[in-house]
Each structure stands twice: as C-alpha cells, then as structure tokens.
Amino acid sequence: MEERLQKILARAGLTSRRGAEELIRQGKVTVDGRVVTEMGVKVDPARQRLVCDGKPVEMAEAKVYILLNKPRGYVTTLDDPQGRPIVTALLKGVGERVFPVGRLDLDTEGALLLTNDGELAHRLLHPSFEITRTYEAVVRGRPEKRNLARLAGGIMLEGRRTSPAAIKVLAAGAGETTVRIIIHEGRKRQVRKMFEAIGHRVLHLKRTAYGDLTLRGLGTGEFRILTTRDLELIFKSKNSLYNKVDTRYI
C-alpha cells in the first residue's frame, strides 16, 4: 500500500517524521535508485526499494522506548564528524536501532527519550500536542521578579514569542540561582536563550521530566526501557506538572 515517504521512514524507526522530511530535503533518500527531494511523494515499501543515507530501509518490527539520563559531553545525533561520544553508545544491551527524540545540547544533561517509533516521536515533538518538558537551570546572578514574570508570560526570541512558561525559584545564592522552568516548546537552545534575554547566563542545565515521567531512580548515564504506564505519564497526564506551578514568578 502506498504511503507518504516521510511517514514510511518514520514508521521504519529511522527518525521522527520531521527528521525524515529533513533527510528527504537533503537528498539522502532514493526510491528505486532515484533521489527524491520533494515532500508528499507516495511509495509502496513492499514493491519499491527505498534507501536512506546509503542503507536499505527495512520496516521496524518491535517498538522500543527508552529513557536515558544523558551525561554532559555526549551529542544527541547518531554519528559525529568531530568524533565526540554519542548517546546511543550508552545503550549497552539494546539490540534495536533507536534514535533520539529531539536533542539536548552537548553541555545539557538529563532526560532524553530514544525510540524506533517515528509516530510517537512526531507526537512528542509537534507543538500542537503541548507535551511539557521540565528543566532545572542554574543561572548566573539573581534574576529580578519582573524579569522572571516576563519569561513566564512569553518573550520575543528570534522574531517569535515563546509560549507561557511555569517558573519557580528553587534556590538563590549570592552568585547564582537555581530555577525550575516548564515549557512545551522545543526550540534550539530555548531555555538558555530565554535566560540570556533577561541578562542571566545559564551555567548548568538539566531536563528532569517529560510530562509526569521523571528521571527518578536513574543515575547519570543510566537508562531504562519504558512501559505503557510510563508513556501514559507523558501523554495522558500532559500539562499536569505545568498546571501545578503558577505561570507567574514564585
């Protein structure tokens, strides 16, 4: 049966649907030997030969979902030209080929989901599903109440306003402040850029949860296979953490 090419690549467990679209744009996908770069092309994987990035596309079978407590210094790509360590190297004993859902910066640690389920990755990443992500940020200095209120209400970043955020100060010292921030967007380096916009550089950043799914019990560099109940904590309880914290500065 014919389906859109990007949907097939996602279902094969290669990447999310958005990631598949980027691979197609880059000319890394061929159908029966022909490079395809336009969106919306329909193909039949049972009758046509699909190759992505030089490798035949094989439809994934068993779906696997992994929560990793990513250490600093690891990249969230499947390979790195600079030779830096990649997150999948931490998944000892996992036989299935999985990919990271979204990214964490090299210097950011914490909760990272990996899977071979492109449709689930699409739901996690697409803004319309509003899946919350909780971070703890250690920032330089002590942000003023009015500036944290600005972040909570949304600020202009690179020509677009951020969605409301839930913010709570967890600890404050003379030279730095620890802040919990909950957002449902996934722009590149968003949390760091938000605090930079109010004049406070992020010194340390850790993602601690997706929805109500937390890192509880996972040490740095450790991972676990997720259950159906775990996935429900992400999707069925979405925004529950967000609703527990006032969107104004606390």
pLDDT for residue 241: 46
pLDDT at position 61 is 63
Number of structural domains (the chain) is 3
- Do 195 and 142 lie in one domain? The reply is yes
Higher pLDDT, 202 or 47: 202
User: What domain range includes position 27?
Assistant: 3-56
Q: What is the pTM of this model?
A: 0.75
Are 152 and 140 members of one domain?
Answer: yes
Residue 250 lies in a domain: no
More confident residue, 39 or 90: 90
Provide the CATH number for the domain around residue 49: 3.10.290.10
> Scanning the structure block, which residue is given the tokens 């429900």?
232
> Does the active-site annotation cover 105?
yes
pLDDT over 90 for what percent of the chain? 52
For position 81, what pLDDT does the model report? 86
36 has pLDDT over 60? yes
- Least confident piece of the model among 15-19, 62-66, 114-118, 216-220: 15-19
Judge if 198 and 136 occupy the same domain: yes
Q: Given this model, what pLDDT does residue 237 score?
A: 54
Catalytic residue among 44, 53, 79, 105, which?
Answer: 105
